[in-house]
Amino acid sequence: MATTRKSVTKASPARKVASRSPRSRRPEPPPKKRPVVLHEISARAFEHPAEAAALAALRRVPGFDFVLKRLFALVGDRALRVAFQGSAVRVSPHQFPEVWAEYVKAAQILDMSPLPELFVAQTPFVNAGAVGLAKPLIVLNSGSLDLFDGDELRYILGHELGHVLGQRVLYKTMLRVILRISQAAFSVPLGGAALFAISAALLEWDRKSELSADRAGLLAVQDVDVAYRAQMKMAGGGRTNEMNLAAFAEQAREYEAGGSVLDSVWKLIQLSGTTHPFPVIRLAELRKWAESGAYDAIVSGDYPRRADDKAEPSFVDEVKKTAGSYKESFETSGDPLVSFVRGMVAEVKRRAGGS
């Protein structure tokens, strides 16, 4: 009996020690870093080179300035604001307070004040947009509230604030008005052709401007996983438990580099007439920027300030600024069509050098 009591005495503390073992506790996640406020950040800090080039080309389209001024006189900010006041819900601390809180956070991080008015419009389509002329406002479709939450929503709102900060809302509003009146304009001799040229240039710029705004959205959340997850949701919906971010990123790489020259041509055709690049393209472009070191530099405080912005850069300045980026993209792109052209250029140079 003594032996039995002795063995029980030894085993009992062992069981107690095992129950207190730290291995049985679930480790707590590391605390989330607080986003850095980007005081006086200029839109030049996150402008995609492709947008700068497209905007420079847009401003050189014949008749662009004339159409811009006429549309500005035709469509005023007041008409747009009255329309949304009557058909949507204005976001405030009293209406959609959670949306308002994320909106304020995004604006504070991007150092934007005063805030443009924000409305939620009842529509199931997932989208948001900045509209207006001299005094822009932002409209968030109710479908976006069902898909995004928390930081993802701040990413979307930061994206739209990026359009406002870059003073691009005028062109976006102009595009939407032109697309609406273009059918009537085609019945007027030469009128349709002029508007087609302007709308085509606007659409090309509009797609590129989304890449810049995606960078602004990332700066508003300062979490690459949140930004990438938002793009994945735009492509596949809200069932994130059935999707994988790493697999989606690999899909983006395959889309960019895979296929044949004909596939690359089809990609261009499929994008024509759209206002947004495909989500896989947007994720790939955002990832390149984040991994290039430019994003980290901005968060560390190395970025251009608004006080140093020029009134409007010249066409030559825009070409100089974007030439290096386009050269690097051309030399490193895995797209089959670009690779084919790159090979042809190399062959021409080789033959020219050998003759």
Which pLDDT score, from 0 to 100, does residue 49 have? 85
Count Cα neighbours of 238 within 13 Å in the Cβ-side half-sphere.
10
Q: Look over the chain and give the mean of its residue pLDDT values, rounded to a whole number.
A: 76
d(CA 184, CA 186): 6
Which pLDDT score, from 0 to 100, does residue 60 have? 73
Question: Which amino acid is it at 176?
Answer: R
Question: Which amino acid is it at 334?
Answer: G
Which pLDDT score, from 0 to 100, does residue 272 have? 61
Which pLDDT score, from 0 to 100, does residue 121 have? 96
Question: Which amino acid is it at 252?
Answer: A
What does the DSSP assignment read for 135-159? S-EEEEEHHHHHH--THHHHHHHHH
Question: Which amino acid is it at 230?
Answer: A
Which pLDDT score, from 0 to 100, does residue 278 have? 87
Which pLDDT score, from 0 to 100, does residue 170 have? 72
Please, what is the Cα angle at 103 between 89 and 161, to 5 degrees? 100
Helix axes 49-59, 64-74, angle to 10 degrees: 90
The stretches in the chain having pLDDT less than 50 are 1-21, 185-191, 261-262, 315-316, 318-320, 322-324, 326-328, 330-331, 333, 335-342, 344-345, 347-348, 355
d(CA 105, CA 269): 39
Considering only CA atoms, which of 157, 170, 169, 173 is closest in space to residue 118?
Answer: 157
Which pLDDT score, from 0 to 100, does residue 4 have? 46
Which pLDDT score, from 0 to 100, does residue 312 have? 57
